[in-house]
Each structure stands twice: as C-alpha cells, then as structure tokens.
Amino acid sequence: MKTIQWYPGHMEKAKKRIRAKLRLADIVFEMLDARAPASTMNPAMDDVLQYKPRLLLLNKADLADDEKTEAWLERFENEDIPALAINVLTGRPAERLIQKSRDVLKEKIVRRKEKGMKEVPVRAMVIGIPNVGKSQLINNMAGKNKTKTGARPGVTRHQTYIRAGKDFELLDNPGILWPRFTSKKTALNLGLIGSIKDDLLPLDDIALYGIDFMMRVYPKSLLSRYRLDELPKHPFDTLEAIARKRGFLLKGGMADHDRAIRVFLHDFRHGAFGRLTLDDPYDV
C-alpha cells in the first residue's frame, strides 16, 4: 500500500501536476469506490478540474450493495452528473465507458466536425485517490492492444497514451488525489476499505467502527461469517465473541483482540461479508 501522507504542500503539488496533465485530456474519469462514493470523492475536484468534462466511475461495483449503487446513480443523474458503475477487475466496461464519454463530449465532437476539423481520438485522464482501481482500469481498457501510442511532440514532459478501442486513448499515468478527511467518519470509511495508510488511524478504532457498522446495517453477514448465534449489544463485545469463536486466545485464556481486529479488517477488505456499501446516498 502507498505510503502517502497528505500535507498542504503535497496537495498543492498534486493539484499542479494534475492541472498540467489536464490540458492534454478531453475528459476526466474520476474514479470512486462504489462502496463509499462520498468518502472517496475529493472535495477539491471542482477547483482542479474547472470546466473540464468529467465522468464519475463507481468502481468495484462487484463489492458494493447493488441497491445502494442504483440509488447513488439515481442521485447523480438527478444532479446531472454523468456517472457509471463498473468493475474493472472481472468486468469488461470499455465499450460502455467509451460510449458514455462520447455522450458527455457530444457537443464538442459535433463542433469539431462542423469546423471541418479532422477526427482526433478522444483522450481521457484517470484520477482518483489511492486504491480505487486507476491502474486496473487502464490495464483493463488497454486489453490486448496495449501498445502505447508514444510520446507526443510539443509536450514539456513526455506523456504517453494507451489506445483503448478505436479512436479512444487513455493517458497512461493516472493522477493521484489526496483523500479528504472532512470528518472522522470519512477517514474511518477510507481506513475500512484500505484507501489510507494503516498507521494514520488506530486499527482498533477502524475495526470497532466497522463492526458497529456491520451490526447496524448488515448484521446477518456478520453472524454468518463468524458463526455467531447472536450479536451482543456493543461492538467491543462482538470483537470479543469473534476472538473466542475463532479460538484466538492469549496465555491465561484472555481473548486476543489484536488478532481478531486483523482478521476482521482483512475480511472486510477482501469482501468476505458479501456486497456492502458504507456511504448512504441519501445521507447528506
């Protein structure tokens, strides 16, 4: 996992780097984690992107709660924000993505044609916070024809493009954004899905928050994963029950909470509880 700590200086640098590359792109793919669209969205995007057309990609939809993903898409549609739910690990979203991009850029493409300009490939730049699947998307879309179209002249720093389908190119070097920490809840959500360094927040805080969330929203998944008959009232007692059920004991018979924490987080991050979504689309 990336060891990025974001300080104001880092953010300014990241913004600058993204802005410099932005000029080369017709459209920006802002990747989010479908399990936490609000928490993985960056609040400085408007400022960085200005009027550049963009498309939100709710990635890892295979891990998210389908109903909530639908509700998120509905919300974005109501707000006139182009968005798609995708899975770049096992899915083949390239066609849908290219089609949707052309849709978003319709007017620009028509204008170019009217001016008699020759057709040029649509170029997309991928951005997002760590671990949302930016590299995976590029690999997925590049498919077999992973031939880079080469550095182009007239660009200060050499930029390469990857062809993805006819007349469509991806900037091969994704822009990494800083996660936002507008609230403790956001930070904990990012910790749970593994989008921030583990030492930014205490692991027991993340795990207890996650257990509490599971107890409230997906209690059945929690019960069945650890073969528990019932859930205690408090997350800490659930942690204790997980440790005992799994036989994680210290000398003297005390429950090994640290081990249970590690197992819970591993399970959560690897989809062992089935599909789930942390951010509620109607929670403002």
Ligand X SMILES: Nc1nc2c(ncn2[C@@H]2O[C@H](COP(=O)(O)OP(=O)(O)OP(=O)(O)O)[C@@H](O)[C@H]2O)c(=O)[nH]1
Of 104-112, 128-136, 160-168, 223-231, the segment contacting ligand X by CB under 6 A is 128-136
Give one word for 60, left, alpha or beta, with left for phi > 0 and alpha for psi -120 to 50: left
How many Cα neighbours within 13 Å face the side chain of 52?
27
Of 132-140, 149-157, 179-187, 223-231, the segment contacting Mg ion by CB under 5 A is 132-140
Q: What angle do CA 126, 128, 129 make, to 5 degrees?
A: 150
Tokens representing 242 are 């997980």
* 162 binds ligand X per the rule CB under 6 A: no
Between the alpha carbon of residue 240 and those of residues 24, 129, 152, 264, the distances in Å are 53, 33, 59, 12
* 238 binds ligand X per the rule CB under 6 A: no
Of 124-132, 151-159, 223-231, 260-268, the segment contacting ligand X by CB under 6 A is 124-132
Torsion angle in degrees (nearest 10) through CA of 96, 100, 106, 112:
-60
CB nearer to Mg ion: give 134 or 257: 134
* 221 binds Mg ion per the rule CB under 5 A: no
H/E segment holding residue 48: helix 45-49
133, 191, 210, 235: residue in contact with ligand X (rule CB under 6 A)? 133
* 130 binds ligand X per the rule CB under 6 A: yes
Q: Report yes or no: 19 and 48 within 8 Å, Cβ to Cβ.
A: yes
Q: Minimum distance from CB of 42 to ligand X (Å)?
A: 13
Tokens representing 45 are 């995007």
* 136 binds ligand X per the rule CB under 6 A: yes
Collapsing DSSP states into helix, strand and coil, what is residue 260? Answer: helix
Contacts (CB under 5 A) with Mg ion, residues 29-58? none
* 131 binds ligand X per the rule CB under 6 A: yes
45, 57, 88, 188: residue in contact with ligand X (rule CB under 6 A)? 88
Tokens representing 172 are 């091969």
In angstroms, how far is the first alpha carbon of the chain from the final one? 30
* 128 binds ligand X per the rule CB under 6 A: yes
Size of interface with ligand X, in residues (CB under 6 A): 17
> What is the spatial distance between Cα 283 and Cα 133, in angstroms, rounded to a whole number?
25
Pick what 57 binds: ligand X, Mg ion, none; C-beta below 5 to 8 Å, kind-dependent: none
Of 131-139, 196-204, 232-240, 271-279, the segment contacting Mg ion by CB under 5 A is 131-139
CB nearer to ligand X: give 234 or 266: 266
Between the alpha carbon of residue 20 and those of residues 94, 159, 234, the distances in Å are 26, 11, 50
* 135 binds Mg ion per the rule CB under 5 A: yes
What residues make contact with ligand X under the rule CB under 6 A? 2, 59-60, 62-63, 87-89, 128, 130-136, 176
